[in-house]
Chain A
Amino acid sequence: MKKITIRKFIATLGASALIVGGTLTLIPSANAADPVVETTTGKLANGATYLMKVPARFNGTFFIWNHGFRPSYPYPSYTVPAGVEELTPYSVNLKADVTAQMLKAGYGVASYDRVSTGGLHGWNTTDGVEMLKDMVDTAHAKYTTIKKVVVYGSSGAAPVINQFIEKYPDKADAVGLMAGLTTPSAAIQSLCDYFYLLSVFADPTIKGCAAFGVAKGVAGHMAALGEFAKAGALLSGWSKDLGSLPLAYPAPLATSGIPQRSALLLSGLIVGLPTKSAHMDGISTSAVIAEQSINATVAILENSQDALGTGTLAGQAIGEITGPGFYDNTKTDWSALLSAADSGRYNLGLSGDDAIAGMLGVLKMMPRVKGDPAAVAKFKALDKINYTSDKPTILLSNDADRLVFAGNSALYVSNAQASYKARLAKYKAGTGTKPVWNTLALYALTPETYTKYTDKGLPDFTAAPAVSGVGHQSFTEAQMMGWVKLLAQSAKTGKAPSQKFVGSAIFAKIDPNLNTDPDFLPNLLKYKS
């Protein structure tokens, strides 16, 4: 199967190559050879293709994988995937999944292509829930030795899985969310903010999310990608000059002398982009890249490509559901989105207090994007869940995930805790059933330092990326299999390990870069809904 990259798409538009390292692999390479006994393929009731593999020594625990968001339409360098493309958790960094390992461990594995009736992907959560149910029922019908079912998936599959387990709680015994999106509107709002900020500080022709959903189908997707192309052109330019040129926009700042990279850094901090990236650790310095000046900026630059690219396509897909005008920033307090800690820590990169005040002051005065109330309401309500599942749920995130920020996992846990407390209070007051706290959040961290510099003191983007903690759906084999085994164990016992378990010596042996601090919190999302 082809490996499609946003980089290739940018190249087709004539823009120069972006920073190496920002590939978005939508279709993985072929799975490794699997030592299986039985393979089953077929179609679900709606025509979606499924694939199941069960080893000879099947232990009774069956994993059903759900892949993340996929666009529905072809565009230059992208072919819509056909058939099952991910059977088990896939690592973008390793370009490999863990099918062989899981089968060897005795688990059955299955997946389906998540294509809605009519052959479209897109933002099809509701369809996905019924497809998953059908997949579970199909697996049981075929393999009567199944004792436990784990439903797990990544990224945009999380809303599907979360809604599924609340609607069909008896259909699965454990839930796994890898780099999972918790509340789509919270994540996409920040993406839309990013487009808006780029339009203010760099390219006034960018419409960003205001252009999403205006047209549907191929035309709509091409229009959306046109917005991404504008952002891509900015990223290309900044990758060459590191944003050193003075701001040309907006007009009040055109003579300020503030370098463009300060506005890029400000924008990235406002939306919550990680200040660590595949090649920038936020600590290592050279004469050209001093840590407290533009090191974080270069990280944000490196992270932007995938964030904007995938977000564009997801935003367009969502816009086709909500209708255009789902983005509204008329009430956004930009100053409040820049934390005091970030303002202090990155003061040099932001060009100091006066520049920060200047940029925020002008930003406050810029025309806002007024959304369509009906579309905004649908957007905010998209994929809502109640956090009432008592099934063991284990989340796995990269601390510096550039696409689905790690704060999504923290938000899930926070919402789940609030629901648990409310239900516990009701139970103690005599109503409802006793809730069970059954959630565990795992985080893969980056090594402390990993940045390499060239002889000229510039970041070496051709060097190997950080082995852990960065990227979207980029985990080590040990991290993925550790997660899988915890899920299997939890499905068997009905109980997820407590958060204290991550502080144990046993957990520490799974992978050296998994967080072992039970009280760890990643950077939180800027929005909760």
Chain B
Amino acid sequence: MALVAGVTVSSLAVTALPATAATDPGVTSSEIVLGMQLPQSGPASPGYNKVDDAARAYFDYVNSKGGIYGRKVRLEVRDDQYKAGLTVSSASSLINKDKVFAFIGSIGTQTHISVISDINRRGIPDLFVNSGYSGFYTNPQTYPTTFAGLGTYVVESKIVGKYIKDTYPTKKVGILYQTDDFGRNALQGFTTAGLSFEAKKTAVNFIAGTQGSIGLASQLTALKANGVEIVIIAAVASATAIAVATAAQLGYKPDKWVVTSVGADATTFQTILGSKGVTPAVSAGMLAGIISASHAPSPGDTTDEYVAAFKKINDDFNKGPDKRWDNNVLQGMNIAYMATEALFGTGSNLTRKGIISYIENNGSKMSSAALSPLGYSRTSHEAFTAFWIGAYDGATVLKPITGTRVLYTTDSGTGPVTVSNYMRPALPADAIAKGA
């Protein structure tokens, strides 16, 4: 008797325990399917919603040059609106409907934590995640398929923390941070660097996601009341925008604002303030002088060969609704550049295990637009291990703070901060890295 129409007894094959597929999903003779999850809409989307179009532009460029061993790269993207519930369902869709070979560049710590275990359980490569939370990368035994696409918040904060300690030894330093993995990671880095804070006086926090509703006035009032002269913000860009605007309303003018790179994205900063009626000229003025750090060249540095090449590819191939060149576009293209390099480097016999092995064994040799080396190895899946420190100018461009860019490096533990002599490999002539 048929079970349902069309099903016969013989089609109900019994296997032993689930066997490994002969070929991995998402790879055919003509195509490689990659997946990305990010907030394309909703309050957390400004700036981030350009990353996928930028990545796709780079892949379209690669495809126009013949693809990767004859395979075209197709990027499938899901909008999770920065809501973890949607991250879970959209990951399921990418895995089961789109049958992606790998995830690349997924954005968001608090959202990615909802899917990282399941993605790893299934053995799906989870490449170049746009989160600096060190807990995802420092122990590959926990998350063997996940690789960072940013420097960790600990690394960045240690480097910036040492700079603050050395440069402003007599100034009172305070921190405003969001109480989640991101904020905790950053706080860890700053304290490891030797900065000390007093809870509720020089260290104030807010629950991530509430910055819009609470306005951060009580936190900034506390810092002001306690004489904080250097204010560190370890939070997302919307919190930075709100904090700076609120401080202005309170008449609070710290000597310096220091903002972690995730929270200092100029596009997001200006877009959020713009939605509150602040003109670009005014928000640019608010951003001017803010100290931050970066692992990449400034997107405005057109003398940089990677910036110049990626900018041209963006101009020619980006079909997104907003392709204005900025940090987010640079990052999106760099993620795609690195993914292409890893896909080439793995070889034409492309497997999930193969690409993971390639990255672990060749991480230090891989190139990217970043000025920092990559830290991928079998014992660490951290990405950029070096940052340079800059300050925003009046045109929202981050410039080296001393005029000369100095790269500093450290680890996500308690290792010292030292100057890095890393020299970034030259960009290939066709802007496509074909393996280390």
B-binding residues in A (CB < 8 A): 59, 281-283, 285, 290-293, 295, 340-341, 344-345, 347-348, 351-354, 417, 420-421, 436-438, 448, 482, 485-486, 488-490, 492-493, 495-501, 503, 506, 509-510, 516-521
Contacts and interface: CB of A to CB of B under 8 A. Distances in A.
Contacts of A438: 14
Interface stretch (B168-176, B205-213, B406-414): B205-213
Contacts of A490: 12
Contacts of B206: 352
Interface stretch (B179-187, B246-254, B286-294): B179-187
10 contacts: A292-B84, A292-B110, A340-B135, A341-B117, A348-B207, A352-B180, A437-B14, A488-B1, A516-B96, A518-B18
A489 B4 CA distance: 10
Contacts of A500: 13, 15, 18
B11 interface: yes
B114 A437 contact: no
Pick the 7 closest A-B CB pairs, nearest first. A352-B179, A283-B85, A352-B207, A344-B113, A353-B179, A282-B85, A495-B14
B185 to A, nearest CB: 11
Nearest to A276: B85
Contact of A340 (B17, B18, B113): B113
Contacts of A510: 4
Contacts of A59: 1
A516 B92 CA distance: 10
A492 B12 CA distance: 12
Interface string B96-140: 100000000000011101101110011000000000000100000
A293 B110 CA distance: 13
B22 interface: no
Contacts of A341: 113-114, 116-117
Nearest to B117: A341
Contacts of B113: 340-341, 344-345
Contacts of B209: 290, 292-293, 347-348
A424 to B, nearest CB: 8
A528 to B, nearest CB: 17
B207 A485 contact: no
Contacts of B96: 503, 516-517
A345 B111 CA distance: 7
B180 A347 contact: yes
Contacts of B89: 283, 448
A70 to B, nearest CB: 32
Contacts of B122: 519
A509 B4 contact: yes
Given A344-B109, A345-B114, A521-B118, A291 B7 contact: no
B184 A353 contact: yes
Given A348-B209, A352-B208, A292 B11 contact: no
Nearest to A490: B12
Nearest to B177: A353
B208 A486 contact: no
B95 interface: yes
Given A437-B17, A497-B14, A498-B15, A492 B1 contact: yes
Given A292-B84, A517-B95, 20 more contacts: A283-B85, A283-B86, A283-B89, A292-B110, A295-B85, A340-B113, A347-B207, A348-B208, A352-B206, A437-B15, A448-B89, A486-B3, A489-B3, A489-B12, A490-B12, A492-B1, A493-B9, A496-B14, A500-B13, A501-B12
A506 B3 CA distance: 10
A496 B117 CA distance: 29
Contact of A485 (B4, B6, B13, B109): B4
Contacts of A493: 9, 12
Contacts of B180: 344, 347, 352-353
Contacts of B208: 347-348, 352
A506 B207 contact: no
A485 B3 contact: yes
B12 A495 contact: yes
Contacts of B179: 347, 352-354
B423 interface: no
Contacts of B84: 291-292, 345
Contacts of B118: 521
B429 interface: no
A482 B18 CA distance: 22
Given A347-B207, A354-B179, A498 B14 contact: yes
